[in-house]
Structure 1
Amino acid sequence: MNVLVLGGYGLIGDTVIGRLLRDGHHVTGLGRDVRDAGRRRPTVRWIAADMSKLLVAENWLPVVAGMDAVVNAAGALQDGPRDRLDAVHRGSVAALVAACGQAGVRRFVQISAIGADLASANPFFSSKAQGDKAVASSSLEWTILRPGLVIARTAYGGTALLRALAAFPGFIPAVMPRQPIQTVAVTDVADAVARAVAGPLPSRLALDLVEDNARPLAEVLSTLRAWLGLPPARVVPMPAMLGRLAGAVADMLGIVGWRSPLRSAALAAVARGVTGDATAWNQVSDRPLQPLEATLADMPANAQERWFARLWLAKPVIFACLSLFWLVSGVIGLMRQDAAADILVSHGVSASFAHIAVLAGSAADILVGAAVVVRSVARRALLAMIAITLSYLVGATLLVPGLWLDPLGPLVKTIPALCLVLVALAVLDER
């Protein structure tokens, strides 16, 4: 079959594509930035498109032409510079469903979310439910799948945060540790999609994809810690105020493009509990979905999982330190430009050139220090930090080589700062 997968390079979408390819289907993937996905899966035909801008059926008709089935694995957690929930979850889905009807697409698989509810005050859950309603109101052979907490070898968003908390040194911090959670293996989600596409699953059904029994968040974290191969640690409940503060900070970071799983929408999801009802799935399937322990046993952790878990929480600290370091350096340079220029003058540099160099350097420091916290330009800011640092080292070596022997080490200390920039570049990618 010819199958279109929206969000094909995401946590669920990529595994779905892999399963469909193994089943012999011809797969087309769609997403906003498909360059990396095209390199990872060259056998897939990729379409670069922003769903939030495809809001009428005519936008979708060229995309769905010739397709036998469509799988919608796309979604967003919260409104932000790169995400518009109503457009992605409702508007584009309604337009897509209409286009499928006009183009003769037979099957439609909607990957929704546990807790999707038209009456929800949370925009994520209400917009998801509106998209589900558009699908369920159509004449297509539709299936709506609502996964619980999806566990995969790769980790983005909330699952990455849980791994990081599980790997916390000495103890496991947890807000709302008693909230019930039901997990599902990403391979089980992909299997359900494959069945819905090929036909073994009855159509026009909405199914929760969750393990049979719920468990408290604290148990999920302890199980993940054991999976990582780390010594047991006590789960320490964190004050609700701390969670709200983290959510407020994450929401502010969302304004500049960072999509943290600590945003208020994610905390609201945990607060309601990530639980569903596996009964409907068990009635139409020949086997129940595997529990968390079996899911983790199928993907044993190694050094790379431990590295990721430990570095994930360090990432915001790294970026905060770099931003503060460059901002403070630039501000001090402006405040004490005469003193900074005197250092150069004392080593034989002309006074006019010294003042120009200090002003230019301070302005550059402030610019990159501010830019590195804006997600869309963070990579360029980090590269600029490297270029500025190397220019500083080369220029100082040529003009005032004696600074290498200065007892306060103004040149020597730039080397570890440069290394931290390289670490930031290495961990910048979100997926």
Structure 2
Amino acid sequence: MRILVPGGYGLIGSAIVSALLTAGHEVTGLGRSVGQARLREPRVRWLQHDLKDLVSAEAWRPLLADVDAVINAAGVLQDGPGDDVMVTQSLAMVALFEACEQVGVKRLVQISAVGASPDAATVFMRSKGIADEALEGSSLDWTILRPGLVLGSSAYGGSALLHALASLPGFIPLPPAPSIRSVALDDVAATALAVVEGRLPHRRIYDLVEDRAHSLQEIVATLRARLGLPPARFARWPLWIFRLAFRLGDLAGLLGWRPPMRTTSLDQILAGIDGDPTPLGAANGRSLKALPEILEAVGGTVRERWFARLFLLKPVIVATLGLFWLLSGLIGLIEADKAKVVLTLRGFAPTTAALFVHGGALADLLLGAAMLWRRTMPAAATGMIGVTLAYLLAGSLFTPDLWLDPLGPFLKTLPAAVLALVALAIKDAR
């Protein structure tokens, strides 16, 4: 079959694409930025389109030529620069369903979420629910899959956050949370494959969840053991601390980042993640993997431990570098006269000294601000390394005595350059 997968390079989408390719299907992936996806999976025909430009059936129809079925795995957690939840998960999807009806693509699989409803508490769940309701009212051979908490060997979003929590030293803070049902990433992909191949009844809604629910503490403790880490103590912190932390995640979202620690995630955790495994179990004659089996896919190697520990350190590194360079530039402007004296005492003309001091301060401010913006972070980190090396080279030529200064104005720049190098190494989110 020739299958179109919107969102084909996301956590769930990538697993579905791999399952389809293994089964011998021709896959076309669609997403907003497909450069890395093309390199990672060249067997797929990748189409680069922003879903905000696909809110009409007319826009979708050319993309459905020579397509036998669609598996929709596109989605965003929360509104932000370039992200509109209602457009991505509702308007564009309703247009897709209409286009499929018009061109004769009958089979469509919708990856939704447990708890999706047009009157749900969060925009994320409402948008999924609106799309689900529209699909149910269509003439398509539709199937709606609603996964619980998705866990697997790959980690992104909420699963990545759980890895990070599980790796914390000492004690692990947890919000008050009801029970949670999880699902293996490969079970989601296998179910989507079974549906699109006609091995499960169509025009059904299936919750993809394990048979038994677990507490958040039980999930994190099991994951920690799989990472090869000793048991940890758990702490129940007041809810306001978590709300503050997740609000900071919202702020990062305004700067173009997509952290899992945003208020939508917290609201979902507090509401619980539940579902009914019975319909799917009856349809395929077996239950999905339980938590211990799910987490067998998580290896306890140094790679997994490095990822888990660096996940929460990444925002700390980015924020530290951004604030360091911003404050450096601000102090340079405030104390410009003192900085100019250091240069004039070493033979620089006052005009030249002022040019170096004010130019350097402005460069620091620009790099600090660029570090905090997601799209410009890699360029900013590269610039920080370059400016530091240029600063050290010029300083060695004109003020070599500062290498031995007890306050270490030269030596202290080296760790900042190394930290920028680390930021470059962990810049990718997928």
Q: Normalising by the residue count of structure 2, what TM-score does the alignment of the two structures yield? A: 0.98
1:359 corresponds to 2:392: no
User: Per-residue CA shift, 1:364-419, capped at 9, x if unaligned?
Assistant: 11111122111122222212212211211121122222222222211111111100
The match for 1:228 is 227
Output the CA distance in 1 between the equivalents of 2:323 and 2:88: 35
The match for 2:165 is 165
Output the CA distance in 2 between the equivalents of 1:154 and 1:113: 19
Output the CA distance in 2 between the equivalents of 1:280 and 1:304: 37
The match for 1:141 is 141
Structure 1: where are the runs of 5+ without partners? Answer: none
1:306 corresponds to 2:282: no
1:259-270 equivalences in 2 (<5 Å): 259-270=258-269
Instruction: Report the alpha carbon displacement of residue 351 of structure 1 after superposing the two structures with TM.
Output: 2.1
> 2:322·2:368 contact (CA, 8 Å) conserved in 1?
yes
- Give the 3-state SS of the residue equivalent to 1:207 in structure 2: strand
User: Per-residue CA shift, 1:25-50, capped at 9, x if unaligned?
Assistant: 00000000000000000110000001
Output the CA distance in 2 between the equivalents of 1:181 and 1:53: 36
The AA in structure 1 aligned to 2:63 is V
The AA in structure 2 aligned to 1:42 is P
1:382 corresponds to 2:381: yes
User: Per-residue CA shift, 1:39-63, capped at 9, x if unaligned?
Assistant: 0001100000011220100100111
Output the CA distance in 1 between the equivalents of 2:295 and 2:220: 12
Instruction: Report the alpha carbon displacement of residue 280 of structure 1 after superposing the two structures with TM.
Output: 0.5
Output the CA distance in 1 between the equivalents of 2:217 and 2:236: 9
- Give the 3-state SS of the residue equivalent to 1:47 in structure 2: strand
Output the CA distance in 1 between the equivalents of 2:137 and 2:113: 18
> 1:209·1:281 contact (CA, 8 Å) conserved in 2?
yes
Instruction: Report the alpha carbon displacement of residue 354 of structure 1 after superposing the two structures with TM.
Output: 1.1
> 1:53·1:87 contact (CA, 8 Å) conserved in 2?
no
Output the CA distance in 1 between the equivalents of 2:291 and 2:224: 13
Output the CA distance in 2 between the equivalents of 1:17 and 1:123: 27
Instruction: Report the alpha carbon displacement of residue 346 of structure 1 after superposing the two structures with TM.
Output: 2.1
Percentage of identical aligned residues? 49
> 1:112·1:144 contact (CA, 8 Å) conserved in 2?
yes
- Give the 3-state SS of the residue equivalent to 2:303 in structure 1: helix
> 2:227·2:298 contact (CA, 8 Å) conserved in 1?
no
1:269-418 equivalences in 2 (<5 Å): 269-418=268-417
Instruction: Report the alpha carbon displacement of residue 350 of structure 1 after superposing the two structures with TM.
Output: 2.2
User: Per-residue CA shift, 1:138-164, capped at 9, x if unaligned?
Assistant: 111111000000012111111111111
Instruction: Report the alpha carbon displacement of residue 286 of structure 1 after superposing the two structures with TM.
Output: 2.4
The AA in structure 1 aligned to 2:164 is A
The match for 2:208 is 209
Output the CA distance in 2 between the equivalents of 1:310 and 1:161: 10
1:174 corresponds to 2:167: no
> 1:222·1:235 contact (CA, 8 Å) conserved in 2?
no
> 1:29·1:45 contact (CA, 8 Å) conserved in 2?
yes
> 1:347·1:400 contact (CA, 8 Å) conserved in 2?
yes
Instruction: Report the alpha carbon displacement of residue 120 of structure 1 after superposing the two structures with TM.
Output: 1.4
Instruction: Report the alpha carbon displacement of residue 112 of structure 1 after superposing the two structures with TM.
Output: 0.0
- Give the 3-state SS of the residue equivalent to 1:146 in structure 2: strand
Output the CA distance in 2 between the equivalents of 1:412 and 1:119: 58
Output the CA distance in 2 between the equivalents of 1:407 and 1:38: 52
The match for 1:34 is 34
Output the CA distance in 1 between the equivalents of 2:256 and 2:323: 19
The match for 1:119 is 119
> 1:11·1:152 contact (CA, 8 Å) conserved in 2?
no
Output the CA distance in 1 between the equivalents of 2:118 and 2:100: 24
User: Per-residue CA shift, 1:173-195, capped at 9, x if unaligned?
Assistant: 1112x421111001000000000
- Give the 3-state SS of the residue equivalent to 1:359 in structure 2: helix
- Give the 3-state SS of the residue equivalent to 2:372 in structure 1: coil
Instruction: Report the alpha carbon displacement of residue 353 of structure 1 after superposing the two structures with TM.
Output: 0.8
- Give the 3-state SS of the residue equivalent to 1:412 in structure 2: coil
The match for 1:187 is 186
- Give the 3-state SS of the residue equivalent to 2:83 in structure 1: coil
The match for 1:155 is 155
Output the CA distance in 1 between the equivalents of 2:300 and 2:153: 8
Output the CA distance in 1 between the equivalents of 2:319 and 2:17: 36
- Give the 3-state SS of the residue equivalent to 1:241 in structure 2: helix
Structure 2: where are the runs of 5+ without partners? Answer: none
> 1:2·1:66 contact (CA, 8 Å) conserved in 2?
yes
CA separation of 1:170/1:205 partners in 2, compared to 1, >3 Å: closer, same or farther?
same
The AA in structure 1 aligned to 2:43 is T
> 2:226·2:298 contact (CA, 8 Å) conserved in 1?
no
Output the CA distance in 2 between the equivalents of 1:24 and 1:355: 67
Instruction: Report the alpha carbon displacement of residue 243 of structure 1 after superposing the two structures with TM.
Output: 1.1
- Give the 3-state SS of the residue equivalent to 1:262 in structure 2: coil
Instruction: Report the alpha carbon displacement of residue 247 of structure 1 after superposing the two structures with TM.
Output: 2.0
- Give the 3-state SS of the residue equivalent to 1:29 in structure 2: strand
- Which aligned segments of 4 or more residues in structure 1 are displaced greater than 4 angstroms? none
Output the CA distance in 1 between the equivalents of 2:320 and 2:251: 18
Q: Normalising by the residue count of structure 1, what TM-score does the alignment of the two structures yield? A: 0.98
Output the CA distance in 1 between the equivalents of 2:407 and 2:85: 52
The match for 2:45 is 45
